[in-house]
Structure formats: structure tokens, C-alpha cells
Amino acid sequence: MSNIRDVAKQANVAPSTVSLVLNKTGYVSAEIRKRVNKAIEELNYTPNELGRNLSQKRSNIVGVTMYDITHPFCNTLVKYIELYLSEYGYKTMLCCTSFGRNTEREYLYMLKRHALDGIIANVFSANEPIETDRPLVLIDSFINENIPIVMSDHHQEGRLAASLFIENGCKHVVHLTVNKVMKSPAYERNNVLEQILNGNGIRTDAIELSNHSRELNYFSNMSKLLFDRYPDVDGIFGSEIFICECLKQAKIRKIRVPDDLKMVACDGTYLSELNDITAIVQPFKKIAKKSVDIVVGLAAGEQISAETFEFKASVLKGKTTAV
Amino acid sequence: MSNIRDVAKQANVAPSTVSLVLNKTGYVSAEIRKRVNKAIEELNYTPNELGRNLSQKRSNIVGVTMYDITHPFCNTLVKYIELYLSEYGYKTMLCCTSFGRNTEREYLYMLKRHALDGIIANVFSANEPIETDRPLVLIDSFINENIPIVMSDHHQEGRLAASLFIENGCKHVVHLTVNKVMKSPAYERNNVLEQILNGNGIRTDAIELSNHSRELNYFSNMSKLLFDRYPDVDGIFGSEIFICECLKQAKIRKIRVPDDLKMVACDGTYLSELNDITAIVQPFKKIAKKSVDIVVGLAAGEQISAETFEFKASVLKGKTTAV
DNA sequence: GTGAAAGCGCTAACAG
DNA sequence: CTGTTAGCGCTTTCAC
């Protein structure tokens, strides 16, 4: 493994000159450039990123923390985050927090240790207070007033969902909510939905998601429970996976969708599209882009105020609603 | 930002002693340890990973290259790879190759530059010859004899699928194949399926996937094409997403599943489970574990022969087959 | 047991 | 324009 000094020696120049040639920063005469490139070729030299990282005090890596990468919401987001980060020359470190590993602290620590230049975090379970002066942006999460947040307009999501159920003439809507302990801003959509529907004389019931389990099995059981507990339900609002399970359950119970039961899913990823589910579609690209812009900006030393950035959602009409 | 020297000065010891305390390597007297820890506390010192990386010539990061993280096959694999890597103390860098970015070379280059300690790669499009003496393992891909490969037993997958169609009494099976240009080892399952079915007097037709597009839209069109071209099809074998599209198409055309049409999907991720699709389930955990073991072993300098490691698949019975 | 010193490979400030 | 020099922060012999 030859290093930059070997190349310099071989080409009869200084290491810094080799560096200049490599990074195309600053001017180097054509002749010297040729000599350096020849030496690089001869020695089969490859610059070592680790040295550069230390010297520049940056890793060019941004961590993206997500609960579970198999969840459509997560992987759709990650897909675009990775794309946009790569446009800035940043690499994406995947930081999963499932499997009962309490890994969020660890990633935060990596940020502190400069192994990461920044973090884009979803589902930060802030059990302990978080203080960091390093680049951090949250998606759909809240820790404190000092950390910027990016998310879809959950208030509007609630309104869109409510409109759908009203237009479809539902009388009794059951909605799945995230666990309140998480204090997720996403809870707002359920609040708004409930409020509007009740205001229109429509009965609503909420089923609260457990704090931990996200297994398919769990959702399957929840869907059974829903139909058992509310036999006259004619509208369901919940996550895509849950709606999928409800679709199966409805088929088993011979409940016709959308004739006798309308369903609306949140998030609206490929899973809704694939199953023809009516959904409130989150503006994934915009959320990803904004998060990336913020974290990259912060990493570049820009002063970015810790605002909350919201983007409008839209409706995907599928076959789980009549109108 | 204080460094290890500041801490040493504060504690009246040498930097190397601080290092010993931090890494719990070697013996340090209780008193000195206490002094060092006090200094660390006082200065709010956090070790800088970049310095350590350079010194140790390793990044503790393994790259995982995948075509598209939203694909169930990819994210299921990545989920377990991330888990197993973390058990070895490695971090996962997500390397996506979609969006028309030709990023595989780039990741390989990162490996060379020691920004990555190893790569677990799926779908390496080896346009150019690949030579690397650094840790690299392939999943479901082939480049040359010198790189270890991990995958499910595609031959057996083909046999399992064939059995299903035979047991279900199919007469005309259409199967979706990966593009032959890719030379994917996964093609074997289609070969075997065809061979066995034909041997049993069952007609087969193949539809070859385009080399690039993986949009839902594309699969939707392919499913229409399939039914248009083969109106008497009574068995379909293909990727989960394709089978989902075929399910939709069958419903539109009022073809009863599984009464008049049986379908079997490959991979068998949560998507099959969620949609009650009969599928050939890949041993994701085993594939992930083996890949991780190999790449970690190689990174540790172990001599690992470039074999092909295959693991048995299994069948998930869903509602797209009768038996 | 602990400290001094050298080095990992690269970059950047500053002369010349 | 190019070379010299001095780090970046940590680890690791090797003396003491």
C-alpha cells in the first residue's frame, strides 16, 4: 500500500503537490501533473480516505435512523434521502433502531465522535434529554425546540381523510393511532379526523397502537379485534399494513369493500398503490429533500433556525372507497 | 473541542495513558484511571473516531449495495444484514444503485480507499472486470470465481415451484424471468421450473423482464400483456410485486384466483404474507448471516475460500393456490 | 505501570 | 506555481 509520500518521491515533487493534483484544487503545471499521474499509475496508488477524513475533520457520512427498514414508510423515505444526500456527495449510513436494540444513543454518540457529519432521524425515542450542537434534523418526531423538524402537514392529512369518509357517507369510523407515549406529531391527523367527523355527527372510535410490536402478526390480531369490537364499522383509517390486514379480514368476514366498508390508509407508499388502497399520500420527496438540505446546511456551518417544516399531503384514490 | 492531549495535560498523564483508559486495553492503576476520568468529565471530552480510524486503518463500516431499498427483497435482506453486522460492531452503509446512477464502481472505490472495510453486494452489474483484494461478498450475483457468493438454492426453488403447479393441476404456466443479460444465478429457478413442467407435459411460456425499469407501472403493464398474450394461462410464477399486479389484473378480468388461476411468487417477503400469496420463501436470515460472517472474516484477515454458499428455500402457502 | 516519541495518510498555510 | 512544514487525533511500540 503506497501513500502520498511514495508518490511524491517517485514523481520528484512534494506530497502537497500530489494532493493538489488529486483534488484538482489549485494550479499545477501540465508537466508536473503528468509526472504525478505517471507515478500514481506506476505505484497503483489509491488515496486513503481515512487520512483525508482526519485532516478535514469530516466523514462525509450522514446517518439516517429509522425504526425498521422493511416498513414502506421508512424505506420510501430512505430511498429519497439517499438519493439527495448522494447529490451533495454524502454517503448514507443506515441506522436501524428495531430488534429491541436501543441504538439511538449510539448513533448520537457517533455523531459526537465525528464518525457522522450529521443525522436525519425518524422516531427518536427521547427518553433522556438530548443535547447536541452537531447537525441533527428530525422527521415526524419531537425532542425539543432546538432541533428542526420536517414532516407532512398532519393537520391537513386529518382533513383530507375526514373529507373522504364524509363524502363516502360513513357513519362509524374506527381509526388506528400511534401510541401516545411516543408523542409523535403524526397523532395530530387522528385528532383532526376525530374532531371533524364528530362535528359531522359521525361516530368515531380509536384503537391505540402498542408502543413496541410492529410484527405483521400484531396488525393481523388488531384487525380481528377491530371487527369483533365494532361489528357495525363502515370506515377504517390506519397505516397501510393495517389496512392490508383489514382487507384480508373483511374478505374472510364477507364484508364488501368498498360497498359496505370504506378504508383509507396513511402514508400512501407503493404498498397502497400495489393494493389499490385509497390513501393520504405523504410528500416523501419533499420531506427527504428538505431534511437533506437542512442537515447538509448545518454540516456546512450554516445557521439554520430550528423551525418545523411542513409539506402538503395528497390523496390517492384506490378501490377501498367508493367516491 | 478538546482532544486526547488536553485530557492528558489536565490529568497530568501521557496521552497514551488516556488511550489505555478509554479503550480498556492494558493495565492502569485505579488512581490514575480516576484522574483521567475526572479530566474527561471536566473537559467534556469525546474521543474522535476519525483519528482512531486513521490510526487503526479501518472504518468499521461495511457497505451494502442494493438496487432499490424499497424492494421487499432488498430491504428484508438489509434489515438482517444490518442486525448481524451490528453484532460484530460494524455499521452499515447503504449503497443504492438505482436512479440510473452508476454507483457500484464508486462504492468499490470507497472500499479501495479504506472508507469501507468491506462490501456485501447484490446486483453487481459487472460491466468491467472487477479486481479487488479487499473484503467483498456477493448475494445472488456473479462476477468471477474469486469472489464468494451467498444465495438461496435456486435449483430447489425451481423444484418447489414446479411441484406446486403440478399439484394444483395447472396446464399452462407463464413465468417471469430476470433479464438474461444480468446473468443472475436466480435465473436457474426459471430453468428448472420450465424443465420439470415441460417434462410433465405442462406448457410454459416465459416473459423476460427488462433490464432497467422496476417501476410499479412497468409491472402493471407486463401483467396486462401477460393476460392479453396468454388468455388460457392458469399458472403464473414471478416476483411478488408482479404477482400483486396480476392479482389486480385478474380481478379486473374476473378471473377467479385460485379457482381458475394459481400464482406463486418468489422471495416470499412480508409482501406475500400481507397479501396471502403462495410463495417460495428465501432464507433471508441465513443469507444475511452468512454474508456478514464472510465479509467480517475477510476484514479480520481470515483466509476464506471463494465458494458459493446456498441455503434451502421453503414454501409459504397462501390463497393464490388451491393446494 | 506509565510516558515519550513516532507514525497512520492527508491537507493547508505559508514561503519562496 | 511548488515545496516545506506543521498539524488533524489517536494508537502503539519501546524505554524507563
pLDDT score at B143: 87
Half-sphere exposure in the Cβ direction for A61 (13 Å, CA): 33
Q: What pLDDT score was predicted for residue B144?
A: 87
Are A61 and A113 in contact by the 8 Å Cβ rule? The answer is: no
What are the angstrom distances between the C-alpha of A229 and each of A215, A222, B66?
21, 10, 43
CB count in 10 Å sphere of residue B41: 11
Centroid of chain to Cα A107: 16
Q: What is the DSSP string of B206-218?
A: EEEPPSS---HHH
> Mean pLDDT of residues grouped by 10 in chain B (323 residues)?
89 91 85 90 93 95 96 97 97 93 89 96 78 92 92 98 98 93 89 97 95 83 96 97 96 95 97 97 98 97 94 98 94
Q: Which of A79, A216, A276 shows the shortest C-beta gap to B248? A: A276
Q: Which of A15-19, A65-69, A210-214 has the lowest mean pLDDT?
A: A210-214
- Give the Cα separation of A304 and B66 in Å (integer): 33
Digit-coded pLDDT (tens) for A100-157: 887 888 999 999 999 999 999 998 776 677 778 899 999 999 888 899 999 999 999 9
Report pLDDT for B129: 73
The DSSP result for B15-43, as a single string, is: HHHHHHHHHT-S---HHHHHHHHHHHHHH
CA atoms within 13 A on the CB side of A160: 24
In the chain, the amino acid numbered B64 is V
Separation of alpha carbons B317 and B323, rounded Å: 8
Q: How many CA atoms lie within 13 A of B35 on its CB side?
A: 15
Distances, alpha carbon A246 to alpha carbons A174, A214, A241, B65, B157, in Å: 12, 15, 9, 35, 31
B chain contacts of residue A94, beta-carbon cutoff 8 Å: 64, 78, 82, 92-94
Provide, as residue numbers in chain A, all residues whose Cβ is less than 8 Å from the Cβ of B117. Answer: none
Q: Which residue in the set B57, B70, B113 is minimally distant from A270, CB to CB?
A: B70
Distances in Å between the Cα of A19 and the Cα atoms of A53, A155, B129, B178, B280 are 14, 53, 28, 44, 53
**B72: CB within 7 A of chain D nucleic strand:** no
C-alpha cell read off for A211: 408502543
pLDDT at A120: 98
Residue A298 in this model has a pLDDT that exceeds 80: yes
Neighbour order of strands in the sheet with B118-122:
A308-311, A149-152, A136-139, A118-122, A61-66, A91-96, B91-96, B61-66, B118-122, B136-139, B149-152, B308-311
Under the banding of pLDDT at 50, 70 and 90, the label for residue A170 is very high
CB burial class (10 A; 0-12, 13-18, 19+) of residue B70? buried
Give the side-chain half-sphere CA count within 13 A for B299. Answer: 29
What is the grid cell recorded at B26? Answer: 492494558
Measure the CA–CA gap between A69 and A216, rounded to whole angstroms.
Answer: 14
Interatomic CA distance for residues A288 and A120, integer angstroms: 9
- The pLDDT of residue A143 is 87
**pTM for the whole thing?**
0.96
A93: nearest CA partner in chain B: B93
Mean pLDDT for chain A overall? 93
List bases, strand D, within 7 Å of protein CB.
1-13
Strands (E), chain A: 61-66, 91-96, 118-122, 136-139, 149-152, 172-177, 203-208, 235-238, 262-265, 279-281, 308-311, 314-316
CA→C1' distance for B5 and D10 (Å): 10
CA distance B264 to B197: 14
Q: Do A179 and A209 form a contact (C-beta atoms < 8 A)?
A: yes
Alpha-carbon distance of A263 to A245, in angstroms, equals 11
CB pairs under 8 A between A and B: 127
A210 versus B267: which is more confidently predicted?
B267
Q: What pLDDT sits at residue B126?
A: 66
* Alpha-carbon gap, residue B163 to A44, rounded angstroms: 53
Question: What is the DSSP code string of A305-319?
Answer: ---EEEE--EEE--T
pLDDT value at position B114? 96
Q: Contacts of residue B64 in chain A, CB cutoff 8 Å?
A: 94
H helices within chain B, ranges in order? 4-11, 15-23, 30-43, 49-56, 72-87, 104-112, 154-167, 187-199, 216-229, 240-252, 270-274, 284-299
| Interface contact A49-B274, CB threshold 8 A | no
C-beta atoms of A86 and B103 within 8 A = yes
The proportion of chain A whose per-residue pLDDT surpasses 90, expressed as a percent, equals 77
